Chain A
Amino acid sequence: MSRETLFNAALLLGLIAVPAWAVMTDEPFTITLATRAVILALAAAGLNIALGIGGLVSLGHAVFFGIGGYAMGILAHHAQSYTPLMEWPFLIEGTKFMPLIWLLAIVVSALVALVIGILSLRTTGAYFIMITLAFGQMFYYFAISWSTYGGEDGMSIYVRNDFPGLNTLAPIQFYGLCLAILVVVLVFSARLRRSPFGLALNAARQVPARVEAVGMDPMRLKLVAFVISGVITGLAGALFADLNRFVSPTMFSWQFSGEIMILVILGGVGRLFGPVAGAVTFVALEHFLGGITEFWHIFLGLILLAVVLFARGGITGLVAGKEATHD
């Protein structure tokens, strides 16, 4: 068993043990913190497919996070106010049913990722970064001006949405649900990167011309990866909105896109559990350093600088070494 497998297993066991630890130490707030880390890890796991395997430096992934958030916010808002979402040409009502909310978040994220991908993947490098950033800003300012759903102030949802068989208001149960989704996505990511599609995508990142010469369209490979990536980040957005019971335009902000990227870089770009390591570290720093000084981002910046300069594989690379890209 490689060091990376051990590291990943330890990380996962740590996350599974969080509720027990929170109960034992009588610090229930830890569960909420861990839920935040798990959801951010999910968002970063989405970006990790585009960035880590496909080499797509997207500075607009907050678009999908925001879409997921607003899918939840809008449906739940109409459900709690007993007003229809749409009456013509057919009636659509709001809902508090999580699977339906996730479905909407996934479908809309996929469609938007498809459109953004088709337009932005014609470019590479700095241009790709700028186009994805521009889309992010478009959605951000649209959300600010969308007064029906709170505009700049955002929207509060009074009660967390429902999931069959669970009391989602119980922090442990909601945490378990989020962790289960993260595990499913990580298993999917692991299988994806070893599938012919994942290998071809990886190859397209390395030598696009060569992939083309063996009969594959690098643009199509990257587009599919971008859509999958957006869908996962969109799902994370819906969960994040449910965690906070609040959605606002900041979910679309470029700062948040940067934050998701920081999680991936911090944990290790392209490493399966990199987003998890990054998100756990980020939330821990935010909590502990944030309690000491409001300027805690300075320390985060220094850590990020150290990672970029001295630990290119991020925390995972630092702990597990270099070779485990194929673990």
Chain B
Amino acid sequence: MSLLSVKSLTASYGVSQALFGVDLDINPGEVVALMGRNGMGKSTTVKAICRMIAAGGTLEFAGQNLHALPSHKAARLGLGLVPEGRRCFRDLTVAENLLATSRLGDWDMGRVTQLFPRLGERQSQLSASLSGGEQQMLAIGRALMTNPRLLILDEATEGLAPIIRQEIWAAINRLKADTDMAILVIDKTLAELEQVCDRAVVLERGKTVWSGTMAALTPEISERYVGV
């Protein structure tokens, strides 16, 4: 049984419908890329999964109907979101950002700083004073501290320097190798996605138009739907 099962997902912002039928399945330990051009509904899909906007269709996580849960209860089931734009708690230090969200489980400060040594070096620094890349690491660390079963990275490396992007992809690779955590990742860098992800789901105008293994994602398909 899939860890996350999304079928015919629909969602609207007021009168404007954004999702028209998204289908998406993720199994434990799987890394799935959610792809599509800007404005095609990737972030909206993530928001709907995390119950941050009302949605229709089937939405199940670990066998539970997510529609019945408010967003904080959905998160407690094991949904760890790294949002677009990071949104760290600016008035808190790195360590405090991590402690604020910690829940009992395998992930603690030590393990997060092992994954991202930079965070260990800057533990007592206010998160507002971190670089964009470090804030992204902190946002990932913060999500990991909730001990998620599915980690969702919305725009995982957007706007980051190449060296920082490498570090983030390396961390995702380590998570893939060392844990059975499922990962759903949104990003625009096809080359890196191809190396890390097992499968891809492509959205076009709020609808799933293609899904399959990364090996089956031909240049024609990515050119047609993703523009890369």
Instruction: Name A residues whose Cβ lies closer than 8 Å to a Cβ of B.
Output: 194, 196, 199-200, 202-203, 206-207, 209-218, 323, 325-326
Contact of A212 with B92 in the complex, beta carbons under 8 Å: no
CB-defined contacts of B18 to chain A, threshold 8 Å:
none
Docked CA distance A72–B18 (Å): 59
Contact of B83 with A203 in the complex, beta carbons under 8 Å: no
Docked CA distance A211–B76 (Å): 11
Docked CA distance A239–B38 (Å): 61
Q: A207 touches which one: B52, B70, B87, B93 (CB < 8 A)?
A: B87
Docked CA distance A31–B18 (Å): 67
- Report the interface size class on chain B: 20 to 34
B contact face: mostly helix, strand, loop, or mixed: mixed
CB-defined contacts of A214 to chain B, threshold 8 Å:
75, 80-81, 101, 142-143, 145-146
Selected A-B contacts with CB under 8 Å, 17 pairs: A199-B96, A199-B99, A202-B89, A203-B100, A206-B89, A206-B91, A206-B92, A210-B83, A210-B87, A210-B89, A211-B100, A212-B52, A212-B70, A212-B71, A213-B72, A216-B72, A326-B126
* B90 within 8 A of partner (CB): yes
Contact of A213 with B89 in the complex, beta carbons under 8 Å: no
Known A-B contacts A212-B71, A215-B75; A326 and B96 likewise in contact (beta carbons under 8 Å): yes
Question: Chain B nearest CB: distance from A183 CB in Å?
Answer: 24
Instruction: Name B residues whose Cβ lies closer than 8 Å to a Cβ of A.
Output: 50, 52, 70-73, 75-76, 80-81, 83, 87, 89-93, 96-97, 99-103, 126, 142-143, 145-146
CB-defined contacts of B70 to chain A, threshold 8 Å:
212, 217
Contact of B91 with A202 in the complex, beta carbons under 8 Å: yes
Contact of B72 with A200 in the complex, beta carbons under 8 Å: no
Contact of B89 with A216 in the complex, beta carbons under 8 Å: no
CB-defined contacts of B83 to chain A, threshold 8 Å:
210, 213
CB-defined contacts of B80 to chain A, threshold 8 Å:
214
CB-defined contacts of B146 to chain A, threshold 8 Å:
214-215
A contact face: mostly helix, strand, loop, or mixed: helix
CB-defined contacts of B92 to chain A, threshold 8 Å:
199, 202-203, 206, 326
Q: A213 touches which one: B50, B91, B93 (CB < 8 A)?
A: B50
With most chain B CB atoms within 10 A of its CB, the pick from A203, A213, A325 is: A213
CB-defined contacts of B101 to chain A, threshold 8 Å:
200, 203, 211, 214-216
Contact of A196 with B99 in the complex, beta carbons under 8 Å: yes
Docked CA distance A216–B146 (Å): 10
Docked CA distance A210–B100 (Å): 11
Docked CA distance A217–B71 (Å): 9
Output the nearest chain B residue to A200 by Cβ-Cβ distance.
B100
Question: Chain A nearest CB: distance from B69 CB in Å?
Answer: 11
Question: Chain B nearest CB: distance from A4 CB in Å?
Answer: 15
Contact of A207 with B81 in the complex, beta carbons under 8 Å: no
Known A-B contacts A210-B89, A214-B146; A202 and B71 likewise in contact (beta carbons under 8 Å): no
Question: Chain B nearest CB: distance from A324 CB in Å?
Answer: 12
Contact of A217 with B72 in the complex, beta carbons under 8 Å: yes
CB-defined contacts of B52 to chain A, threshold 8 Å:
209, 212-213
CB-defined contacts of B143 to chain A, threshold 8 Å:
214
Contact of A196 with B102 in the complex, beta carbons under 8 Å: yes
